[in-house]
Structure 1
Amino acid sequence: MNERASQSPLRLTVVTETYPPEINGVANTMRHLVEGFRDRGHQLHLVRPRQAGERAGHLAAPIEQTLVPGVPIPGYRGLRLGLPVYWRLRRLWGRQRPDLIYIATQGPLGHAALAAAVALRVPAVTGFHTQFQQYSRHYGLGFLTRQITNTLRHFHNRSDATLVPTAELRAELTAAGFTNVQVFGRGVDVTLFAPTRRLEALRASWGCGPDDLAVLYVGRVAAEKNLELARETFAAIEMQQPSARFVLVGDGPALAGLHRDHPRFICTGARVGEDLAAHYASGDLFLFPSLTETFGNVVTEAMASALPVVAFDYAAAHAAIVSGVNGVTAPMGDRAGFVAAGLSAIQDRGRLRALGEAARRTALHMSWERVLGGVEQLLYEVIRRRQGDPEPTPAAAAVPE
């Protein structure tokens, strides 16, 4: 009998302040986590803020939910912070105790959920999905970086384990004093994101003929994404290939200014599902200059679409790209190196296609099923450890104000 067959299904609660149809990497990962564990036979309960104007039935299949009040996040249109409903969660979990609570976000709802879990002595695992301490530098708050790091460390160290997407980030956080950091890798949907979704009609709408170069960026259009470097790289590419087009897929606070200052750029707004997959597959080169990712799901989505990626050598790019084989990377923070990487990729269209084909082959080995199997075993181990520790945690008395 295999190990999984001998383990009972779990009652799992996932607490997150973002979930589809909201569009971001954390929401996407939470959907795969919730639906994947449900499909593996576990009982899932989702706790999240009620979304503004959300429509009924957007979940792929019925999942038990508790919706809590939320408030808009300044600068993040469409996203909401959950309010700190500590007593509501404590009553809920006191009546129907989960085997384990996974807390994906560090907002007021996440803090309340962790405090309630600790008070009830329910095993709790937190996710480190966003580099908040790095974002501060892009919004004139760099002086708060150390304070934010300290706050995050205090939060995560009260949980039984903290899950991060890469071994690289695990080493970084461990060196910063975070304890019991484990890797929760990322998969990619290679059926949705595939080169067969390429559409010549979509390319034509961008002004690209069959032999013209379409350069893509997909993601949030915001200061922390380092898009000035993408613009600089495309300008260098355009000098060599004047018919090239730069297509930006996504939304964010910098979108209006970017479109105003660069009217020739094609700004499509946010895209989802098969529409997003067609945009990836219809491109020829993907520029991803961000320096603030915990992973960067767009990198593996582009690779699955046979779209060669130019990125800095960290996070998803470090984990998945062998530079010059299935993409091109530059040393972390090397702006000139990034521009040079973009230029090198376009010199030979045959090589560019070969990079994309190799990227697709790499993505085919990055299944969500394998990723979730590893996380499942980690959660069982957390529960086993807690069952062997009858003493209450010192933080059990902590109650948020």
Structure 2
Amino acid sequence: MHPKNLPIRNFTYDLPDDRIAKYPLEKRDESKLLIYQNKAITQDVYANIASHLPPYAFLVFNNTKVVEARLHFERSNGSRIEIFCLEPHERYADITSAMLQKEKVWWKCLVGGAKKWKEGSLTYRITRSDAADVVLQATKIEQRADAYIIELDWDDASLSFAEILHLAGNIPLPPYLNRAVEAADKERYQTIYAAHDGSVAAPTAGLHFTDAILRSLASKKIQHGFVTLHVGAGTFKPVKSDTMQEHEMHAEFIDVHIAFIERLLQNIHHAVIPVGTTSLRTLESLYWLGVKTKLDPSITPEALTVSQWEPYDLPADHISAADALGALLQWMHRHKAERLVTKTQIIIAPGYRFRIIRALVTNFHQPQSTLLLLVSAIVGEEWKNIYAYAMQNGFRFLSYGDGSLLWNEEPANTGF
């Protein structure tokens, strides 16, 4: 069956509210780890994950950083307006350049209490103990079907938009936590290796990793590398259609350095294991970007993206991962590109054949979500047994919950 025809009702399970982890554990690496391999399920804790991985495996982390994307303004009449900064306006080439804008920026936003905001600009005074106050203003530019385009401007030309968010905004916790942000969330809703501002949701599989785990991986000769996929609010977008054909997958920015792609190619014959669904989507997208450069070496940077259904339609059965990555590197060298910055809309669902990855480290996901479809693409119908085991054995679910190491039994077509 083509994934377009998959009924989403086949990917549901009962998730009681008390099984959703509202807070993280005190120690990141004490979270439970479910291991699924060869149809067997065992459990351990993240601190021991290295003992469940083969030597020379190549772990891939997403080093995006969650930004304080929720801004709260108060009108003169006392009404509160929340602006949730989703992603930059299309006038910017990528999230990084938008985050570095000075004095003003255009952003696609959700507006809470929009009916109270009839006209004029909203103003928020940022007080600083070590410098003069900064006045931040929000002005509506355009109303779109699903969001507003907001111009945000501020009166300190030395500050970037990323710095403004750090000063004025709040971390956007997932809606299903159903609680206010607390001081500890600023640290705990970030991975320890978060580096590049741009996400409105954390790559949560990485929240369990500590410096001690990274040292244990290195002692077993397990390598690791970093990609960047800026997670959008669309990661929480529910599937409301009966089948996947009517569901529009959210697009997200990826930013990958050429040195990482070279390392990935060198390690392609080892077990490549993404930490998190965002890392997985980035890795598999690299394969399809390589396929497109191999099929059309003259493809333009603007056309080098991955749309929702392309991985199921492109003629790529004869193209190995090594060939695809090699073609992508050649294209980047021709374009003198040190970084590959583009968008991916890839949807990974049952019927997808993995080209790069051998296993996935991930949390437990919401019923009827595209992330659960991705898990099912790796383990097939066994996802039901895996989730039943987790439910029966006290695992905590969703962003601040426990996680799993899931092996894909079908070897990837690496080309080696």
Q: Which has the higher strand share?
A: 2
Q: Which has the higher helix share?
A: 1
Q: Give the TM-score, by structure 2 length.
A: 0.27
- Choose between structure 1 and 2 for higher RCO, CA contacts under 8 A separated by at least 6 residues: 2
Q: Give the TM-score, by structure 1 length.
A: 0.28
